[in-house]
Amino acid sequence: MNVKSADDVDFAKRGGVIPVVVQDKKTKDVLTLVYANREALAKTIETGNAWFFSTSRNKLWMKGEESGNVQPVSEIRVDCDSDALLYIVDSNKPMCHTGERTCFHNMVEKA
């Protein structure tokens, strides 16, 4: 399925907000898991930069608007149920608010 607009994604299933996995184009590292609403996806398609919906702040935001670590999106993929997205980004800037490259930098220790 080719996503041409935010209308091609089923936001209704999850109350208007769906998960977005962000993956680095070159390394294939998973950088973060965030959320998007219809407007965030539309702005990502329109601008080519990653936009999300903050569930904690209840507002739209562009990655890098405060840190300068803008994440250019080279591909957007939708899962088979049309209720989750994958943004493939072409950036070497940190994704995590802590300054780490990926939000998945903490390891779970085995017992």
Question: Which residues make beta-bridge pairs with 19?
Answer: 35
Going residue by residue through the chain (111 aa), what tens digit of pLDDT does each one get?
466 667 778 888 878 999 999 999 999 999 999 999 999 999 999 999 999 999 999 999 998 888 888 899 999 999 988 899 999 999 888 888 898 999 999 999 987
Q: What is the pLDDT of residue 38?
A: 94
Long-range contacts of 38-47 (CB under 8 A, 24+ apart): 38/6, 38/7, 38/9, 38/11, 39/6, 41/6, 41/9, 41/76, 41/85, 42/5, 42/6, 44/73, 44/76, 44/87, 45/3, 45/5, 45/6, 45/76
* Domains of the chain, first to last: 6-89 (3.10.20.810)
